[in-house]
Chain A
Amino acid sequence: MEIEFAPHIEEIKRALDNEIDDERIRTDLVKLLEYRVPLAEAKRSLIRKYGGVEKSSVKKLLDIQIGDRNIEVTGLVLDIIKKTITVKNNEKTVFSGIIRDETSARSFTAWEDFGLNIGDTIRVTQAYVRNWQERPEVNFGGRSKVEKLPTQIVIKEEAQQKKLSELRDGEINIHSAFTVLKLESREISTKDGSKEILTGIGADEATKIPFTSWILFPELAIGNTIEVKNAYVRSFRGVPTLHMNEKSLVKKLDRIIQYKEPPKVMIGDIVEKEGAFDVVIEGNILSIRPGSGLIARCPQCNRVIQKSVCRVHGKMNEKIDMRIKAIIDDGTGALTLVLDAGLTQEICGFTIEDATLIARTAMSQGAVEEEIKKKLLGKMLGARGNMSKGEFGITLVASKVWESPDITNKKSKELLERAGYNGKDR
């Protein structure tokens, strides 16, 4: 096998500030390759051997993920405070704060004193990302190099303001605007006693999102268009939710942002996202998954159970329920559509009692699943609901479902025109 070594040697030398001569690197590299070490691994171990550091990969703050290591970020320090924490019975001083670039703001922790101040623009290499209270946080450790840049990053006010569709789990310091569509107050119990909070649904031109406010801002009222600063995002059941607390600034706007209901979204587009709130899809049912039809649930925890035994509560008097788990596919993407008993009845035309009868007559639980297959497989359905990603794959739990209206004629005409027939030329 012929390998051109020169470019790889160059690459290694770059990481080592050119201190080692070519021949030594070459001999080592050839040797490692003879021992069947993959090229990428060989380069890495040579860089380590000669004390160099691998080049950090440059990331925008929006793109960081828990578990990223050796990344390079550049941003503006928005906030920093000194904290004393106890690690293994030793007191340690760390600095935590907020860093922002043009894409997002994230919390960070510096494990050493890098002499950072609010307003500094810094470039950090060898940084890493850890999970801190269920959100990604940038960490600067002992190996990180922090360089203060002479030029300030100027982040324009407009660039900072985000559309609701752009919000990602774990983002902080969010500046956005939306209209309050739904609002209710809820009593929750915290460790300091009960507390009243507000939950609701907000929307900008194209996206709806649930929100929670830990403060009873008077500006939050149905119909008001609100500008909010310093809010943050947490995912709840896979759907990003906007949170406001005592640090958030809420202002009522004079203009009104009008939400336009999107007619439907392509499945291929939403499966790229982390989650989607209240979306409409349309596609064909391509598979009815096992676990559809009649199921038994534990009356205490609602888990699906087999043979009347719940894995938490043991032997229980099971509760019969009905549901459908189906693959819906529109040619751009596929996901699992979940319909509860009510929706199953609506689309298949039988109640839980009817289904029980079907199962009893056929003396098989599977008979109901067969019945569902007969009714739905291949059909085009529309559905509305929340999409989330989890260990069971991509799921849309429907709040509504319907058979697609028959608009074959209208669509045919449109398509013929698009194809350049029917007299029209394009």
Chain B
Amino acid sequence: MAGNLNPKRTSEFPKSEGGFVREVAHRVFAAEFRESNLQAKDGHDQYSPSYLLTPTGVKVNRIFVVGTLTEKEDIGTEAQFWRGRIVDPTGAFFVSAGQYQPEAAQVLAKTTPPEFIAVIGKPSTYTTKEGNVLTSIRAESLQIVDAATRDRWVVDCAKHTMERLERLKGDNPDAVKAKEHYSTNVEHYRAMVAQAIESLAK
């Protein structure tokens, strides 16, 4: 059984670094990301990637967001640890970058809000004493972008979200799991997508 964790990938691409495949960056709106609280893991191995399952049923190991940086703060005590608030049409993401993300931390340090910013990072969750789950993004890289890139992201994210909502009707395992856990209200998210797109028309 050992050495057979992912037989499909390793046998198909024997040359590609033991079957390593880069995790896809998913596009998720802030409102949906904020409501996500289900951590999942693919295998039982300590090296298997962990995911955050969102209400529309996508397993996120990497996330791509373009929004407006509205606030930033260095909350580190000894080393720098930057936290930023990035706003999209539906809400806000919290983004963090510490000493292990030096490039991203530098970008946060030198950027003056407000500014359009692209974030590529990993989702992380924190459970409060009251049992609420707070989500944030640990930034891998941050980059200042223009308004057109931000608008394009909103459209792209809307498209992906719509596709996921349509997939929720089917029996895709992630979709089924999401419906079980969140009892996803499709109308609610459909309205969220519509609101996001309508905000572009102004």
Contact = CB atoms under 8 A, between A and B. Distances in A.
B162 interface: yes
A379 B145 contact: yes
Given A41-B1, A390-B15, A391-B15, A412 B25 contact: no
Contacts of A38: 1-2
Given A287-B120, A331-B64, A380-B152, A415 B197 contact: yes
Interface in B131-163: 140-141, 143-145, 148-149, 151-156, 158-160, 162
Interface stretch (B16-24, B69-77, B79-87, B92-100): B16-24
B25 A40 contact: no
B122 interface: no
Contact of B143 (A41, A334, A373, A415): A373
B148 A419 contact: no
Given A380-B149, A412-B197, A415-B197, A391 B17 contact: yes
B193 A334 contact: no
A328 to B, nearest CB: 10
Given A38-B1, A334-B25, A380-B152, A420 B159 contact: no
A67 B11 contact: yes
Interface in B167-202: 190, 193-194, 197-198, 200-201
Interface stretch (A152-160, A207-215, A220-228, A403-411): A403-411
Given A286-B120, A415-B159, A377 B16 contact: no
B45 interface: no
Contacts of A373: 143
A412 B162 CA distance: 12
A335 B16 CA distance: 12
B24 A334 contact: yes
Highest count of chain B CB atoms <10 Å: which of A40, A380, A419: A419
Interface string A304-341: 00000000000000000000000101011111000000
Contacts of A408: 148, 151-152, 154-155, 200
B16 A418 contact: no
Contacts of A41: 1
B66 interface: yes
Contacts of A406: 148, 151-152
Interface in B1-56: 1-2, 11-17, 20-27
B97 to A, nearest CB: 15
**Size class of B's contact patch?**
35 or more
Contacts of A329: 24-25, 64
A38 B162 CA distance: 45
B4 to A, nearest CB: 9
B105 interface: no
Given A391-B15, A415-B193, A334 B155 contact: no
Given A378-B143, A391-B16, A418-B162, A331 B27 contact: yes
Contacts of A377: 118, 141, 143, 145
Contacts of B190: 419-420
A379 B25 contact: no
B96 to A, nearest CB: 18
A374 interface: yes
A414 to B, nearest CB: 9
A60 interface: no
Interface residues of A, number: 40
A374 B143 contact: yes
Contacts of A65: 11-12
A268 interface: yes
A409 B197 CA distance: 9
A287 B26 CA distance: 14
Interface in A356-382: 373-374, 377-380
A332 B152 contact: no
A334 B151 CA distance: 21
A65 B14 CA distance: 10
A420 B193 CA distance: 11
Interface centre among A271, A335, A408 (most CB of B within 10 A): A408
A393 interface: yes
A411 to B, nearest CB: 5
Nearest to B146: A379
In the A-B complex, list the 3 residue pairs whose CB atoms are closest, starting with the nearest.
Answer: A378-B118, A377-B143, A378-B145
Interface of A: 38, 40-41, 65, 67, 268, 271, 284, 286-287, 327, 329, 331-335, 373-374, 377-380, 389-391, 393-394, 404, 406, 408-409, 411-412, 415-416, 418-421
8 contacts: A38-B1, A286-B25, A286-B141, A377-B141, A380-B149, A380-B156, A412-B200, A419-B197
Given A286-B64, A378-B145, A408-B155, 19 more contacts: A38-B2, A40-B1, A286-B120, A331-B64, A331-B156, A378-B120, A378-B149, A379-B145, A380-B149, A380-B153, A393-B16, A406-B148, A406-B151, A408-B200, A411-B159, A412-B200, A415-B155, A415-B197, A416-B198
